[in-house]
Amino acid sequence: MSRLIVISNRVSAPTADKPGAQGGLAVALSAALREADGVWFGWSGETGETGEPNFQTFDGVTSATIDLPEQDVEEYYDGYANRTLWPLFHYRLGLTEFEREFQGGYERVNRLFGDVIAPHIQSDDLIWVHDYHLIPLGWMLRQQGLTNRLGFFLHIPWPPTRLLTALPEHRRLVDALFAYDVVGFQTREWLETFHDYVVREMGGSIGEDDLVTVGGRTIRVIACPIGIDADEFIANATSEQAQAAYTRMVESSIGRSLIIGVDRLDYSKGLEERFNGYQRYLETRPDAHANVYLLQIAPPSRATVESYQIIRAQLDSLSGRINGAFADVDWVPLRYVNQSYPRAALAGIYRAARIGLVTPLRDGMNLVAKEFVAAQDPEDPGVLILSRFAGAAEQLDSALLINPYSPDDIADAIDKALAMSREERVARWRPMFENVRDESVIWWRRCFTDSLMRV
Ligand code: G6P
């Protein structure tokens, strides 16, 4: 059996310091790495001189991390990854910064990853690179003479051609993808926008069996939506910690319906628009006051990047304004919390909620939507209100799908969800639950690695 090598910017394999694997992706990849005797490479998250990777094996999973010099972190992670590619790929041209140094730093760090990792690769290893931080890495590894099967999966959306062409040297970035044998996207929609670029900008062609050809090079390009570890999450939802969180929520709700939102504090999540939609609900339905409240959990993210500081300040003031305008002596309409909670506690909170409000302006997938579905009580499930612009909407199409830019859409959906009969809630929830269970993160991993193994 070939070894599996996973490479991503962040490594979330369990270690002695952080023994629980973090999140469904970590669980699925860790299981594969354990079986296939693999290694998970990535950045340690620390700044410092880059030396040899620091290998550690914990619970059967080997990870190997490197530190990066401060300038590299600024230009590669803060810079090109999070000030250029992230906003651009989430359709936010106005927030996208185009600096030549960022691109230089990005390529330098990708080359560095290639140099550091190549000596540890064996000839029949399967190599799987993840996400927008490392698009050119496959090309860098080929430069090192590697002929291994190489796959790449993009966790975020692929932007429309007319947006992508605003990126200086966009062609260079996309050319680098052709060093891989298999490229995976979350949805058919991103796959089709990629095809569009290949045809318009590269003069390439789309063939049978997911093949894409440009010049003499043919690669396989697939859509494989990531899922969650549904069994783990269902077990989570009925664990003691979840029970405790559930009880705490129910007791503090005193009969009011809980609307829950959980997101990294990121402008792509549509939090401002969500708050505006909730405000519209409160303005237009005065009778419903004091029967509902919104709990928004939003742990801060990428705090060194200015656009994240701005959205944080905007949400601080908007949440204050909403509570100032609508709160009563015994009721706070919006509880806005900037800390993170353990997954088991979140599962309990999801289960206590009447509505899950997941309204990103653009999202590669959105696993909160899937976790919310998995955590529900099958006899009395809550309602998922989901942005049509989340990748998850392709699979979870019996949610209440809304346009997250429209405050009226959000307000109407809240109204509809609160009035929905149990029968309709169950009928909408069941197919979503079946999808979340069947197209799990393990299914996703197989979908991708099977395709890579066939190369
Ligand atoms: C998104 C990206 C991931 C990233 C995560 C957290 O989900 O697709 O690659 O790891 O956000 O962001 P951070 O910058 O903290 O790693």
Residues 9-68: tens digit of each pLDDT: 999 888 888 876 667 788 788 888 988 889 999 999 999 999 999 999 998 999 999 999
Q: What Å distances lie between residue 364 and 82, 259, 302, CA to CA?
A: 15, 23, 18
Q: Ligand 1 pocket, 155 CB below 6 A?
A: yes
Q: Which atom of ligand 1 is least distant from the CA of 155? A: 8
Q: Ligand 1 pocket, 302 CB below 6 A?
A: yes
Q: Ligand 1 pocket, 301 CB below 6 A?
A: yes
Active site residue 90: no
213: three-class secondary structure by DSSP = strand
Q: Ligand 1 pocket, 156 CB below 6 A?
A: yes
Select from 10, 84, 133, 371 the residue to mutate for testing ligand 1; criterion: most ligand atoms less than 8 Å from CB. Answer: 10
CATH number assigned to the domain covering 230-438 = 3.40.50.2000
- What is the number of other CB atoms lying within 10 angstroms of the CB of residue 195? 17
Question: What is the predicted pLDDT for the residue at 21?
Answer: 60
Select from 77, 131, 304 the residue to mutate for testing ligand 1; criterion: most ligand atoms less than 8 Å from CB. Answer: 131
Active site residue 380: no
Quote the ligand 1 centre to 207 CA distance (angstroms): 32
Quote the ligand 1 centre to 122 CA distance (angstroms): 28
Q: Ligand 1 pocket, 10 CB below 6 A?
A: yes
Question: Which strands sit side by side in the sheet containing 182-185, from one edge to the other?
Answer: 54-58, 61-68, 39-47, 4-10, 126-130, 149-153, 182-185, 217-223, 211-214, 205-206
Quote the ligand 1 centre to 131 CA distance (angstroms): 9
Residues of the chain with pLDDT under 70: 20-22
The Cβ-side half-sphere exposure at 216, using a 13 Å CA radius, reads 0
Work out the end-to-end distance of the chain between its first and last CA atoms, rounded to an integer number of angstroms: 15
Task: For ligand 1, atom 16, name the residue with the nearest CA.
Answer: 10
Catalytic pick among 72, 181, 229, 363: 363
Torsion sign across C-alpha atoms 381, 386, 442, 267: negative
Q: Ligand 1 pocket, 90 CB below 6 A?
A: no
User: Beta strands 400-402 and 39-47: pairing type?
Assistant: unpaired
Q: What Å distances lie between residue 291 and 61, 286, 295, 334, 375, CA to CA?
A: 48, 10, 13, 12, 23
Contacts 24+ apart (CB under 8 A), 11-17: 11/40, 11/41, 11/42, 11/43, 11/44, 11/63, 11/65, 13/40, 13/58, 13/61, 13/62, 13/63, 14/58, 14/59, 14/61, 15/56, 15/58, 15/63, 16/56, 16/58
Question: What is the predicted pLDDT for the residue at 307?
Answer: 98
Nearest of 321, 245, 318, 326 to residue 292 by alpha carbon:
326
Quote the ligand 1 centre to 436 CA distance (angstroms): 21
Nearest of 136, 139, 178, 186 to residue 158 by alpha carbon:
186
Separation of alpha carbons 117 and 115, rounded Å:
6
Beta bridge pairs of residue 292: 257
Q: Which atom of ligand 1 is least distant from the CA of 301? A: 15
Catalytic pick among 78, 120, 155, 175: 155
DSSP string, 111-166: HHHHHHHGGG--TT-EEEEESGGGTTHHHHHHHTT--SEEEEE--SPPPPHHHHTT
Task: For ligand 1, atom 9, name the residue with the nearest CA.
Answer: 131
Quote the ligand 1 centre to 9 CA distance (angstroms): 9
- Say which CATH topology domain 4-227+441-453 has: Rossmann fold (3.40.50)
Task: For ligand 1, atom 14, name the residue with the nearest CA.
Answer: 302
Quote the ligand 1 centre to 42 CA distance (angstroms): 13
276: which 2 tokens?
């505006």
In single-letter form, the type of residue at position 35 comes to: E
38: which 2 tokens?
């693999």
Question: What is the predicted pLDDT for the residue at 233?
Answer: 87
Residue spans of the domains in the chain: they are: 4-227+441-453, 230-438
Q: Is 103 exposed, middle or buried (0-12, 13-18, 19+ CB in 10 A)?
A: buried
281: which 2 tokens?
């609900």
In single-letter form, the type of residue at position 455 comes to: V
Separation of alpha carbons 80 and 316, rounded Å:
27
Q: Ligand 1 pocket, 131 CB below 6 A?
A: yes
Q: Ligand 1 pocket, 446 CB below 6 A?
A: no
Separation of alpha carbons 171 and 153, rounded Å:
19
Q: Which atom of ligand 1 is least distant from the CA of 131? A: 9
395: which 2 tokens?
């699979």
Quote the ligand 1 centre to 133 CA distance (angstroms): 9
Rg of the chain over Cα atoms, rounded to whole angstroms, equals 22
In single-letter form, the type of residue at position 341 comes to: Y
Question: ipTM of this predicted complex?
Answer: 0.99
Q: Ligand 1 pocket, 3 CB below 6 A?
A: no
- pLDDT per residue over 116-163, tens digit each? 999 999 999 999 999 999 999 999 999 999 999 999 999 999 999 999
Q: What does the CA dihedral 12, 13, 16, 22 come to, rounded to 10 degrees?
A: 50
Nearest of 363, 360, 426, 427 to residue 391 by alpha carbon:
363
Task: For ligand 1, atom 4, name the residue with the nearest CA.
Answer: 10
Quote the ligand 1 centre to 258 CA distance (angstroms): 28
